[in-house]
Chains A and B, each alone.
Chain A
Amino acid sequence: MSTMSMPSQAIPKDDARPFVEYAFVKGHFAWGYFWFMFAIIGGFLYAGQFLQAYLLPGIEWLSPGRVRMIHTQGVAYGFIANCFLGALYWAVPRLTGQRVTHKYLGYFILYAWNALTLISVVGILFGEAQALEWGENPVWIDPVVLVGLACAAAQFTPALWKTKGKLHYVSIWYFSGALAWTGLVYFMGNFGPEYWAVGTGGAALTGLYIHDLVGLFVTPIGWGLMYYFVPILINKPIWSHKLSLLGFWGLAFFYPLQGIHHFLYSPIPMYAQYGAVVTTIAIEIVVTTVVINFFATLRKREAFMVNSLPVRWFYTGMILYFITCLQCSFQVTLTFQKIIHFTDWVVGHAHLVMFGVFGFWIMGMIEYLWPKVTKAGEWYSNHLSHWSYWLMGIGLIIMFSTLTIAGLVQGYLWRDLAVFEASISASVPFWWARYFSGLMILIGAFITAFNMYKTAEMGRAK
């Protein structure tokens, strides 16, 4: 099994169709990046409200609460989903030796998915939100989203399943698992609390949904792509195939069980809460093996961290992933929950994992693939790419650390029965720091947007 490195299956030569559809990689990346900008502008606006300095006050449809919802919706369904689809259009044919199901299905998914995201955003702004974390898109659009997810599964699963040989590369398991999970998770989370699980039971399902969306959609596709891109970029097979096996099946086994840790000390029966805590700590051990595997792979290739910006984005994300998971195994305990639940600690954690890990990985994939799919060959400016890396990297770390400390301050003030307003006054300096760290990320994002635009222009000129 140790001989099993990257698969290199013969590409059929008797077919004139392009093997990798560059248009979809490019299209999904461009839309994804548009939603990223959209979402972080929303996040930046919303952060101003915490300083009593909201930039667009008194407008009903731009009320901070609504903008907060499109911030997370834009990130999850606009940014991450689009960019992952784009990366899958690149990785899946190369990994499996199979074309994706159909070109027209590809165009349909590209336009329909972004139309769905747009309709959700407009729906939320005009007061049609559903009261469900990460599922605020209006309840009437949920069935259509499920159709969209089924289309995505239909586009990629046949290629994954048709891969030759009995042993498939690890990325293929992750993609295949994620395509099964996402639809199931979405169905349970968006319809359960709304129709068949009232109150406390609904909270149990909401917990599962919040966590599964990260754990069973974003995480497996993210790691699957890392297992694909990292060995190619540093030109070395993954260190241990057996550890990757442990990583995937550990995720499949423990991740779906954890969601209720979002509602510890709630009226949900305690056995379910204990189950969530124990499996959460268990998976931290599993993810540590994945991180070890990747850092062992990097051995004797450390120079890539300096010389290759995509590799640097990937491994920065992995270091932050390790911090996230370490943090997770502590914060999930009942001891930590007493203080940090309901505070900014959790907000810091969410930004660390969604942007610091998966956002950074996506930035690395864009860094690697954008000059290729636009046919420019190279970036308009490598200098600007580096500026973007440092602004976003430092911005994110400031954001994460200030929110984490703010969370502790809030939690202890609440426990010690200070008047509630004291916890707000004490948070204001941290919220200012968060605001400026957000500004750094925003500037970094604008720089890359400009760079992407110029690079695409270069590609068209060629």
Chain B
Amino acid sequence: MTLSLNSERAVVALILLLLSIALFVTASRFPASDMGSAFDPGFFPRIVLGALIALAALNLLTDLRSGTGWALEGLRSVLVMMALLVVYVKVMPDLGFFAASVVLSVAFLLLLGVRSPLGIAVVALGVPGALVALFNHILTMPLPTSPLFWWI
């Protein structure tokens, strides 16, 4: 990936601008009230989004002018971590906290460069295990369980 931070910054600024315009258009379609602006559900959001459009446009201009930046190199593992995080929170309620957390911990530790099998085993099994013990048995606030680990 050769995109510089400067380009990345401009892309983020452009997305912010387009998003705020789209949301403003959505807000302008809210049903209007005939009792005045105070009773209009879109009144406050339109003020907020109007300000956001102005600021995002100014921001885009500023970011296009600035010249410094560093490369997007080395972000591959972070992108994988982001994807894993989204999958983890999606499956955790069904798969159970313990099983999902062990898998996530092993994956995160490997992505973060940990290669010690003992370290990985202790953290990946120990931390979720300790949290399950704390919540299920001490605080008596049961965590989501799975068919595999219902006995924990």
Indicate whether A and B interact: no
- By a beta-carbon cutoff of 8 Å, the part of chain A in contact with chain B is none
